[in-house]
Amino acid sequence: MIEVREIRNQADMSKAFDIRRRVFVIEQECPPDEEYDTYEESSRHFLANFKGLPVGTCRFRTTQKGIKLERFAVLKAYRKTGIGAALLQNCLDIISKNMLGYDHSKSPQITTSSVSTIYLHAQEHAMEFYTKYHFIAEGDRFYEAGIPHFAMRFTL
């Protein structure tokens, strides 16, 4: 029923951007210029389909701190159905099994030290979800696009 796959074509990327627009820009009223950023090209993007319909998306990228999970978005009607869990588990599986050999021309080389930490900026209301996957909150609340967030970390 739920299928998660890496985005490899513009048609799927457009579907992911539409989901992000609906969730972040329309529903959460994030400014579009804060939603779409310079990391689109260097990130690995994923699309979740439910019964063939695109309903969720996320991405991850390498940074100096490790692997950053970002832009988790699930259409409102499909939340609490396992879509977010499928997206997150897909990312964690790829990172833990395959990232040391990953060579993406638009992304920095990943080294053993850079993949030792997986982190994200969780919207405050989603922290409980990430805690179930062994992410730990670090530091104080901060705001991105006017929405309260906490940094969370998971160490391999």
Distance CA 73, CA 156 (A): 24
- pTM assigned to the model: 0.86
Domain ranges of the chain: 2-155
Q: Which of 61, 55, 26, 56 is nearest to 41 (CA)?
A: 61
What does the pLDDT look like over 49-94, one tens digit per residue? 999 999 999 999 999 988 999 999 999 999 999 999 999 999 999 9
Residue type, 143: Y
What does the pLDDT look like over 89-139, one tens digit per residue? 999 999 887 664 444 444 444 444 446 689 999 999 999 999 999 999 999
* Average pLDDT of the chain, as a whole number: 88
- Report the SS3 class of residue 135: coil
- Report the SS3 class of residue 147: strand
Task: State the architecture of 2-155 in CATH terms.
Answer: 3-Layer(aba) Sandwich (3.40)
